[in-house]
Amino acid sequence: MDFKKAAILGSCISKDYAEDLFRLLVTYQDISASEAASRLNLHIKTVQDFLEAMASPDILSKKEVLEKKRPYFRYALNTRYIDMKIDLNPLFNKQQEVSKNPMKIRERNNAGARFSTSRDGQYISHVALWIGKGRDRKERKINLSIPQGKFLFHLPFPSADPLSIEDIMKKAEVANSNSSEVLDIVNVMVEYGVIEKEVDDR
Amino acid sequence: MQRKLKPPLLTTEGIIGIVASVVFIVLLLLSFRVAMAFGALITFTAAIISLIVLLRTHNAHFAVSVIGQLLACCLLLGIALWDINAYRDWFIGIAGLMVLFMTLMVIFSLQRKMKWRTREMLELAALPVNETGNGLTTRPMQAGRMDYSTEELRSFTSFIRKRLIAIPVKEQNRIIFVINIPMGRLLAFGGKYQDRTWVAFDYEGNVTVNISQMDYFMYKDSLSFDKLCQSLGECFIGFMEQSRKGEESRIIEQLDSLKMNIITEG
Q: Which residues of A touch B (CB under 8 A)?
A: 107, 109-111, 113-115, 117, 119-122, 124, 152-160
* A201 pLDDT more than 60: no
**Between A69 and A10, whose confidence is greater?**
A10
Mean model confidence pLDDT for chain B: 89
Cβ-defined contact of B137 to A119 (cutoff 8 Å): no
The predicted pLDDT at position B187 comes to: 82
Domain ranges for chain B, please list them.
31-110, 118-256
- Determine the topology of domain A96-199 in CATH: Outer Surface Protein A; domain 3 (3.90.930)
**Chain A interface disruption, residue of B130, B138, B210, most A CBs within 10 A:** B138
* Res. A76 pLDDT band, cuts 50 70 90: very high
The proportion of chain B whose per-residue pLDDT surpasses 70, expressed as a percent, equals 99
Sheet holding B167-170, edge to edge: B141-145, B206-210, B198-202, B174-178, B167-170
Domain with CATH 3.90.930 in chain A: 96-199
CATH 1.10.760.10 fits A3-77, yes or no: no
* Res. B266 pLDDT band, cuts 50 70 90: low
At B53-92, the pLDDT tens digits run 999 999 999 999 999 999 999 999 998 888 888 888 888 9
* B236 pLDDT more than 90: yes
* A95 pLDDT more than 70: no
Domain with CATH 1.10.10.10 in chain A: 3-77
What mean pLDDT do residues A70-76 have?
91
Q: Which among A117, A153, A157 has the least Cβ separation from residue B135? A: A157
Instruction: Report the C-alpha gap between A75 and B184 in whole angstroms.
Output: 77
Closest C-alpha to A60, from A4, A14, A21: A21
Q: Which among B137, B174, B202 has the least Cβ separation from residue A158? A: B137
Q: Any bridge partners for residue B178, and if so which? A: B167, B198
Q: What is the pTM of this model?
A: 0.77
The predicted pLDDT at position B260 comes to: 84
Cβ-defined contact of B140 to A109 (cutoff 8 Å): no
Angle between helices B118-126 and B248-256 (to 10 degrees): 80
* B159 pLDDT more than 90: yes
What mean pLDDT do residues A140-145 have?
91
Q: Which among B135, B142, B173 has the least Cβ separation from residue A120? A: B173
Instruction: Report the C-alpha gap between B60 and B193 in whole angstroms.
Output: 25
Question: How distant is the Cα of B259 from the closest Cα of chain A, in angstroms?
Answer: 30
**A58 backbone φψ class: left, alpha, beta (φ>0; ψ -120 to 50):** left
